[in-house]
Structure 1
């Protein structure tokens, strides 16, 4: 069976160009020269009813159509959850253009994955200027890249360490989410260089940030758009501990005028998780018809909060434990409101050897919190 993948690729490139996600002529050329199906020969789709993952081999027209669509595709599954993916092409091209690369720059990619983004970098810069690291998948990515004639420097290891003997790097791009800027990236970045990564302090709590280094400081703003990457994995990484059993103490009841799904407001939810400094799990209590009637927040120290999600207003809140989780949501939402509800591009990050400070509007503006190191 023959599929005209070049036509499909051209159609996708035209779509991304029209949407403003692929503007640079040099990146347009690189994108149109890079077949995605070489790097995504199969992917997984989850059954909405059973939750099972079904493997789709890219050997028929419907699968090729999916590969050449602007969608993220899960490429590996472990223990019932997706652990690796090929990101949305439009997000990849937007990030590559944000990175502002030029001929002759030395680039480090964190998170090789399928190798597709690596191939785009090679097509634009030449493989001698591209290094990439991943905890897994490198052998398969290397074979796929070699099939197109690319021989970048690939390394299997913990992305948090970078690749010291290939630096300094003029650009570092991370296609996995991290809770803070790893010190190794900061030290391996050349003066005047840039880091682009997804900062996530909790699931759905964070965004892309672009930092430029000058001397002992790397600094920049969060991106105005949205991005969501899987968390960085580490060798022999244990599963995250479950939330602790609900702590003792007398539950405190109150009422709130906030929506019970405050975490759907991305900036205040980021500020809440930043202030709490500990992972927060979010779940729902369902009625007999499987409709949510309450939302539940829980923390590793046993703290918990339960918020009514019915049409009643105001909403009833019950919380207990050493940390008042809903109180933190209320406080950070008040701060967000007091500053005229800033969007992502009003937030920035300053990274030094000693601290990673999130600020509002300018580096000398109000400090909103600190990322852990």
Structure 2
């Protein structure tokens, strides 16, 4: 359809839904109907957009606010005292892909982890009916705001302020679980609160996994195309996380053991990034350059205070300085080397199995093929 110079919210919503259909993110009529019906702008009266390293602020009444609300981008809606974003409205194309991956049927009940603005809960409520949707968020203020906006546009799912990692057993068992926050490992409670045959769609590391629940409460499945990183799930509303900025100076000056290593592949390329996020979901991992322009990779484990500093000395050669009880590079290198030797497979060829005991294993191509037990 043609967009006028000053498009209405309805026109913008139709334009967004049509684009998501063309791009293959929306594949079914019910989800197209949901995106057409639910007004995203009602859930984001004020937000920030990160562009070219800067934050741009939009609020209701600004000339560009309405159009920005319907862009296919994440809208940042809350920050902590350090300026780290703690809530957002997810990029619509990613939301659509995850909702389609849920493969819901009429009558299914869905547990959503991470209420955020409430927009995703509204989409679920439109598709399944409010009585079939439960959404949990750790922040009571976010829950209250989301509930008010949901009611304003005609939806009334069950909203709960609490630790999403514990699920919500009061309404279990569920048919589907959708996590709109990032986790390092799938909590036992999620598997236990789903029916056999149920589906979990969740951001783990920088991958999106679609896992099916078996009779013994195992969960197994593949990763969806495309990489993404959601805001990490918080156990409490005021959880404080260390930032990379606070680690730069220490990691440049700490001394420890040193050895020469060979880098199997560029650490900033998608394959190694994906595998590193699977193996080390809680490790701070960032790159910087020293005063001489040398590229340095820094790893830090906040639990054991183990660290590694990788300084490139050639195309594949590097100097490794490290300290603490864990040798982080020695843990990571075999997985990266296998990826290189296997022909650099795309992340969508990998899958994940969570056993009845909660152990996580990453596998390539088939669950009974080559696999790696992931640390807890």
List runs of 5+ in structure 2 lacking aligned partners.
Answer: 1-5
1:255–1:359 CA distance, 2 compared to 1 (3 A): closer
TM score, norm. by length of structure 1 = 0.87
* Alignment pair present for 1:122 and 2:128: no
Checking the alignment, whether the CA contact within 8 Å between 2:204 and 2:278 is kept in structure 1 is no
Deviations 1:335-367 (A, max 9, x none): 112223222222111222312222222121122
Checking the alignment, whether the CA contact within 8 Å between 2:58 and 2:64 is kept in structure 1 is no
TM score, norm. by length of structure 2 = 0.86
Using the TM superposition, give the Cα deviation of residue 175 of structure 1 relative to its aligned residue in structure 2, in angstroms: 0.4
Deviations 1:246-289 (A, max 9, x none): 69765424263555x51x2333334345445751332413438x
List runs of 5+ in structure 1 lacking aligned partners.
Answer: 201-205
Checking the alignment, whether the CA contact within 8 Å between 1:294 and 1:306 is kept in structure 2 is yes
State the match for 2:86 in structure 1: 83
Question: Which of 25, 28, 46 is the aligned partner of 1:24?
Answer: 28
Question: Which of 271, 276, 283 is the aligned partner of 2:275?
Answer: 271
* Alignment pair present for 1:318 and 2:320: yes
- Superposition pairs of residues 33-182 of structure 1, within 5 angstroms: 33-45=37-49, 55-78=57-80, 79-136=82-139, 137-182=142-187
* Alignment pair present for 1:306 and 2:310: yes
Aligned equivalents of 2:349, 2:117: Cα separation in 1: 34
State the match for 1:226 in structure 2: 227
Aligned equivalents of 2:361, 2:86: Cα separation in 1: 30
1:98–1:274 CA distance, 2 compared to 1 (3 A): closer
Query: Secondary structure of the residue that 1:320 maps to in structure 2?
Result: strand
- Superposition pairs of residues 156-305 of structure 1, within 5 angstroms: 156-200=161-205, 206-216=206-216, 217-235=218-236, 237-240=238-241, 251-254=257-260, 256=262, 258=264, 261-262=266-267, 264-272=268-276, 274-275=278-279, 279-287=283-291, 293-300=295-302, 301-305=305-309
State the match for 2:11 in structure 1: 7
* Alignment pair present for 1:363 and 2:367: yes
Checking the alignment, whether the CA contact within 8 Å between 2:112 and 2:178 is kept in structure 1 is yes
Aligned equivalents of 1:223, 1:96: Cα separation in 2: 12
State the match for 1:203 in structure 2: none
Aligned equivalents of 1:314, 1:342: Cα separation in 2: 19
Deviations 1:46-90 (A, max 9, x none): 5867x6x56421323311111111111101111211111101111
Checking the alignment, whether the CA contact within 8 Å between 2:261 and 2:318 is kept in structure 1 is yes
Backbone CA RMSD of aligned residues = 2.6
1:318–1:219 CA distance, 2 compared to 1 (3 A): closer
Checking the alignment, whether the CA contact within 8 Å between 1:319 and 1:326 is kept in structure 2 is no
Query: Secondary structure of the residue that 1:105 maps to in structure 2?
Result: coil
Checking the alignment, whether the CA contact within 8 Å between 1:178 and 1:232 is kept in structure 2 is yes
1:272–1:97 CA distance, 2 compared to 1 (3 A): closer
Aligned equivalents of 1:33, 1:250: Cα separation in 2: 58
Tell me which moved more, 269-278 or 111-120: 269-278
Aligned equivalents of 1:185, 1:192: Cα separation in 2: 13
1:323–1:164 CA distance, 2 compared to 1 (3 A): closer
Query: Secondary structure of the residue that 2:103 maps to in structure 1?
Result: coil
Using the TM superposition, give the Cα deviation of residue 317 of structure 1 relative to its aligned residue in structure 2, in angstroms: 1.7
Using the TM superposition, give the Cα deviation of residue 31 of structure 1 relative to its aligned residue in structure 2, in angstroms: 0.8
Aligned equivalents of 1:249, 1:149: Cα separation in 2: 59
